[in-house]
Amino acid sequence: MVGWEDGRGRKSMNTLKGYYLGCPIWGNKDWVGELFTRDAKPKDFLAQYTSVFNTVEGNTTFYGLPSEATIARWHQDTPEGFRFAFKFSQAISHDKRLSNAEPETVLFLEMLDTLSKRTGPAFLQLPASFGPSDLPTLDGYLAALPETHAYAVEVRHDIFYTQAEAALDIVLRKHSVDRVVFDTRGLHAAHSGTPREREAQRKKPNVPVRFTATGQHPFVRFIGHPEVEENFPLLAEWAQVVAGWMREGRTPYFFLHAPDDFYAPHLARHFHALLSEHIDAGQLPSWPIEQQDPEPEQMSLF
């Protein structure tokens, strides 16, 4: 399926260009009637999501690899220009910490090969305990990865943002691997104290933001404030940075998160509008719900 087609034969095609824009998930049931059509079922979510956005984080692969049937369905429900940014499995990054992880890596790479025309940078999220003394291990692991795919590395150890930052960037540039840029400023500035907000703040590290590009596909994970408008100044800053990368000939990936991800599509839409003030980034299509005919009004009995 290329794009999304509603019951009246109207199609929505993604026309973004020069960069990739998406959310951390595609199957949020709370988007039914918000982003998705009112009658959307789980089987419709991916196709409708890809009619608007051209990438998504594939976080589920951190916990386990999909079946062949699932991979075939993902391929069928996505257009040619769509890209999954799959996360390396935790068996590789956390359990084995990149050492003696060849069997798990082979399985992960085989999955990427199966979806090769739908894969963007695969990102390797390292545990917070993975520090500067582990850089030789990272160097060796990246050197062994095939060049047929793009990769990005996310670090969470505090010292990679101070004394060991230059050493990390040298390793990544050596292998043309991107650094996953985490921006959690919006999230950690929130103080409403809701359970979802507290849980998100607990899980997402409060690390300094960086605007570092070490490869061809700068990879940004923006975790926003739960109040949409509070993110606008930060997104305006990012729009200038991403436009600069695009002018350099890079192809950025930009993912918008929120504590419960309900407002992630709204943040993405606003970011695209800001980016378009600086550079031609194509058109972000209208949402499937906006293409659906409005519900008929009930006639009054009186």
Q: How far apart are CA 169 and CA 214, in angstroms?
A: 7
Q: What is the pLDDT of residue 176?
A: 97
Is-contact 242 252, C-beta < 8 A?
yes
Is 72 a member of any domain? yes
Is 196 a member of any domain? yes
Is 301 a member of any domain? no
Low-confidence ranges of the chain (pLDDT < 50): 1-2, 6-11, 299-302
Is 296 a member of any domain? no
Is-contact 38 73, C-beta < 8 A?
no
Nearest by Cα to 79 from 166, 5, 135, 14: 14
Q: Which domain holds residue 22?
A: 4-291
Is 234 a member of any domain? yes
Contacts of the segment 282-286: beta carbons below 8 A, 24+ positions apart: 282/15, 282/16, 282/17, 282/18, 283/15, 283/16, 284/15, 284/16, 284/21, 284/52, 285/12, 285/13, 285/14, 285/15, 285/51, 285/52, 286/12, 286/52
| CATH classification of the domain holding 160 | 3.20.20.410
pTM for the full model?
A: 0.92
Is 297 a member of any domain? no
Nearest by Cα to 62 from 150, 109, 124: 124
Contacts of 100 (CB under 8 A, 6+ apart): none
**Which residues is 87 bridged to in the sheet?**
123
Unique residue bearing structure tokens 């085989």: 110
Is-contact 151 123, C-beta < 8 A?
yes
Q: How many CB atoms lie within 10 A of CB 141?
A: 23
Structural domain total, the chain: 1
Q: How far apart are CA 261 and CA 271, in angstroms?
A: 15
Is 197 a member of any domain? yes
Contacts of 116 (CB under 8 A, 6+ apart): 148, 149
Is 139 a member of any domain? yes
